[in-house]
């Protein structure tokens, strides 16, 4: 059965502009949950889906960072009920693949994106619609697998909680799980979007000493310092040298959040001998950089990719919620603008130009 249409931002084809239109959303089926969205973050990964950097069946409803209220549950669903406040998990682990069961790395789950290939709704013309990164949060309501629904702990505003679904978890995990920043260490964060801002806060929470923020846009300095940066460097040909000077020989840890080969190379050059480089940003497959065999040996640095912050959302979400309640994590500092559904295409243009941190779509919010 299909309810009345809901409004959504639809990607009709890879590379095409988003269209704000009505879609036909069915009642939840076996093992599914229907959510009324309170808010959805506009993430750079959504831009990567729209331009083909990441694969996504189309037409699709994008948006993977969201929070809302359960409207209905399908047969076989336990653990959540209508009226529950929830955060959406765009990479629910299956628990049975090799990464989940044997390796204990559920953030690399082989089946996490299974729902992206299954239509979840229809266009007004009756064509199948696919959920971007399994979630399809750029809509007034969505239908997701029950495994993609996480209970929101008390004390976190529902709209702000959308940021917990991607940016906050990714930044927190990059610092605490992947780089394992220790108290007093120096940290450089390259790329100050939503994830970069979350990474700065996570570094501060971890007790990092010097925290250097780097971005191509000098206007982001105020945002970076509000999030915990002690220093700001406007990206240039001397960025690595500037970071080494500020940190007394190189950062202990560099976290790359821009998704560009040049930024990864700069992060590598910015760290001390024996330092750690964590790559969070998602880049193009044809965007490459090189390391010589001698420098890999000589500098003894560690270069590590980081998917979803190496997080287990069910484990880490309550930890982040406690940081929010205690005032250590300020989700508002991750948000540049609060916008309406109609403003998402403009937010994509802003991201493409490298401006702002995170636009947050607040449903029932008037257009900017």
Q: Give the CATH number of domain 6-165+336-362.
A: 3.90.180.10
Give residue 5's pLDDT. Answer: 87
Give residue 3's pLDDT. Answer: 54
pLDDT tens digits, one per residue of 81-123: 999 999 999 999 999 999 999 999 999 999 999 999 999 999 9
Give residue 354's pLDDT. Answer: 66
For the chain, the structural domain boundaries read: 6-165+336-362, 168-307
Domain 168-307 in CATH: superfamily? NAD(P)-binding Rossmann-like Domain (3.40.50.720)
Give residue 364's pLDDT. Answer: 76
Task: Output the six-digit token pair for 42.
Answer: 């506009």
Give residue 44's pLDDT. Answer: 86
Positions of the chain with pLDDT lower than 50, given as ranges = 1-2, 366-368
User: What dihedral do alpha carbons 202, 190, 259, 169 form, nearest 10°?
Assistant: 10
Q: 259: burial class by Cβ within 10 Å (0-12, 13-18, 19+)? A: buried
């Amino acid at each position: 059965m299909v309810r009345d249409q809901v409004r959504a931002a639809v990607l009709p084809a890879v590379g095409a502009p988003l269209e704000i239109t009505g879609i036909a959303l069915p009642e939840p089926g076996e093992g599914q949950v229907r959510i009324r969205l309170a808010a959805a973050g506009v993430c750079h990964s959504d831009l990567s889906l729209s331009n083909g950097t990441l694969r996504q069946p189309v037409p699709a409803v994008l948006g993977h960072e969201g929070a809302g209220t359960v409207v209905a549950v399908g047969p076989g669903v336990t653990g959540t009920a209508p009226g529950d406040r929830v955060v959406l998990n765009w990479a629910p682990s299956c628990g049975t693949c090799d990464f989940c069961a044997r390796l204990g790395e559920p953030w690399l789950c082989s089946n996490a994106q299974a729902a992206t290939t299954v239509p979840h709704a229809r266009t007004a013309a009756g064509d199948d619609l696919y959920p971007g990164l399994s979630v399809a949060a750029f809509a007034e309501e969505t239908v997701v697998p029950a495994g993609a629904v996480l209970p929101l702990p008390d004390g976190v505003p529902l709209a702000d909680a959308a940021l917990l679904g991607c940016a906050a978890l990714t930044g927190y995990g990059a610092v605490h799980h992947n780089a394992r920043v220790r108290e007093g260490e120096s940290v450089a964060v390259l790329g100050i979007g939503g994830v970069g801002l979350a990474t700065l806060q996570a570094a501060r929470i971890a007790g990092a000493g010097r925290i250097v923020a780097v971005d191509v846009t000098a206007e982001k300095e105020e945002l970076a310092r509000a999030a915990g940066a002690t220093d700001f460097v406007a990206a240039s040909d001397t960025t690595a040298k500037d970071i080494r000077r500020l940190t007394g020989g190189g950062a202990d840890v560099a976290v790359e959040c821009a998704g560009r080969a040049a930024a990864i190379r700069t992060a590598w050059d910015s760290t001390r001998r024996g330092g750690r480089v964590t790559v969070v940003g998602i880049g193009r497959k044809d965007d490459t950089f090189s390391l010589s065999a001698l420098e890999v040996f000589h500098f003894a640095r560690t270069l590590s990719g980081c998917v979803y912050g190496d997080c287990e959302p069910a484990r880490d979400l309550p930890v982040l919620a406690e940081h929010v309640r205690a005032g250590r994590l300020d989700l508002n500092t991750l948000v540049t603008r609060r916008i309406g559904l109609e403003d998402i295409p403009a937010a994509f243009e802003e991201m493409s130009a490298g401006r702002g941190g995170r636009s947050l779509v607040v449903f029932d919010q008037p257009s900017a």
